[in-house]
Structure 1
Amino acid sequence: MSEVTADVGPKNAIVRGAFAALMKQGLPTLSYDSIAREAGLSRQLVRYHFKDPETLMLSVCDFLSMVYREALLRSVSQKTQIDRLTVFLDFYFDLLDEEPKPRDDQVYDALMSLAANSNRIRKNLRHHYTMMGEVISHELQMSHPNLTLPAARELSYLIVSLMYGHWKMVASLGLNQTHKRAARAAIDRLIRSYIDEESTKLAPGEAWS
């Protein structure tokens, strides 16, 4: 897990404890007891701050978003605009030695599973992925001004889908992590194809709607 802004309060410790428990044990065996052990707190204190599991998982989702946001800010803060897009995409495919992608696949698997029956978690995850898409769309337009906004939004949707699908194939199904280089190279070819075609062949409807 990448370094994030320190917060030693009990709620933050509980969220981190839930994250650690999910990484070790997965969703089926997650319990208040296992979270309390990882957080170094009592079960009663965990229940006091998070009376229902759904609220706790929403906080875990927000924690993940914070981790990624701070890691990306560290990675792109000193880069040129063109470098920013490259660094952004390399980060999500774990190709930056100086800023490794957070190890969180079991946690995202758990959140996606819970989203099937929780409108609150589904809405939260959708918001996070949509924000990621909006950021990528912005970076695409800044790096390639000839891309129209609809083209950049459609392209960002395809990129986010490829990112998520790649890591599920690797983390959940056990494909070799070296596939990340093939997926990352495919994204560059995809971007070039949109630039070469001048965004004239867009799918019906607007991406991220």
Structure 2
Amino acid sequence: MARKIADIRRPEIVDALYKAVEEDGVALPGYDQIARRGDMSRQLIRHYFGSVEEMAIALCDALAAVYKDCLMKGIIAADDSRRLGVFLDFYFNFLSEKGLPKPADDAVYDALFAFASTSEPVRDRLRDQYSLLQMTLAHEIQISHPELPQSGCQELGYLIVVVMYGHWKMVASLGFSEDYNRVSRDALDRLIASYVERYTPPD
């Protein structure tokens, strides 16, 4: 069955938006910048996206889809006992030699977070995606450590998301050494072990 033209054009426009943000900095670009990056007309972009906000939401979804695809490939290749390790290794870029590098998209996420400060729909979409990541991590922790109560798994899911996000802001955005990839990755193993050893559920 032939693809609809919108199913071709919309991803092309989102890709042009990604490239424009990556090359031009933190602020989400306007139609003219995106048109130049994508070698397309402003009118074409406006036909498929009525606002930059709509494009930003589509960009959020496109980024999430890339992570989902990479993680699914890693999980399929791993046995069940290694699934949590695959998640953490991927997010700290230790699977690149196996063909699963973490996307170098930190500048794009910086732009989306900045835009989210004035856009409730983009803020909601990002929050939903990070909440899903937290729940997914909590689920994987529960599988690896069934003795740990669900509340502890949820706390760890949140803390891991915070460490991952903060870590990449320091490395990718501020220029800290990628040697800290190992520091942060190993710290999460110790954090999980500390929860398994002596977690006390909240009252």
TM-score by length of 1: 0.89
- Give the counterpart letter for 1:200 in structure 2: T
- Give the counterpart letter for 2:119 in structure 1: S
- Give the counterpart letter for 2:193 in structure 1: R
- Which ranges of 4 or more aligned residues in structure 1 deviate by more than 2 Å? 37-40
Question: Per-residue CA shift, 1:55-92, capped at 9, x if unaligned?
Answer: 11000000001010011111111312221110110000
CA positional deviation for 1:8 = 6.5
SS at match of 2:77: coil
Question: Per-residue CA shift, 1:94-142, capped at 9, x if unaligned?
Answer: 1112200011001100011011111111110000000001100000000
* Alpha-carbon distance in structure 2 between the residues aligned to 1:60 and 1:22: 11
Q: Does 1:80 align with 2:75?
A: no
CA positional deviation for 1:29 = 7.0
Question: Per-residue CA shift, 1:160-189, capped at 9, x if unaligned?
Answer: 000000001112211111111100000000
2:3 is aligned to: none
2:107 is aligned to: 106
SS at match of 1:77: helix
2:51 is aligned to: 52
2:20 is aligned to: 21
2:181 is aligned to: 180
1:192 is aligned to: 193
CA positional deviation for 1:43 = 1.5
* Alpha-carbon distance in structure 1 between the residues aligned to 2:196 and 2:15: 42
* Alpha-carbon distance in structure 1 between the residues aligned to 2:41 and 2:90: 36
2:60 is aligned to: 61
Q: Mark the runs of 5 or more structure 2 residues left unpaired by the alignment.
A: 1-5
Q: Does 1:89 align with 2:88?
A: yes
* Alpha-carbon distance in structure 1 between the residues aligned to 2:31 and 2:108: 16
CA 1:15 to 1:29, structure 2 compared with 1: closer, same or farther past 3 Å?
closer
TM-score by length of 2: 0.92
1:152 is aligned to: 153
- Give the counterpart letter for 1:39 in structure 2: G
CA RMSD of aligned residues (A): 1.5
* Alpha-carbon distance in structure 2 between the residues aligned to 1:91 and 1:193: 22
How many residue pairs match? The answer is: 196
CA positional deviation for 1:20 = 1.1
1:4 is aligned to: none
Any conservation in 1 of the 2:171–2:178 contact (CA below 8 Å)? yes
* Alpha-carbon distance in structure 1 between the residues aligned to 2:18 and 2:10: 12
Greater helix content: 2
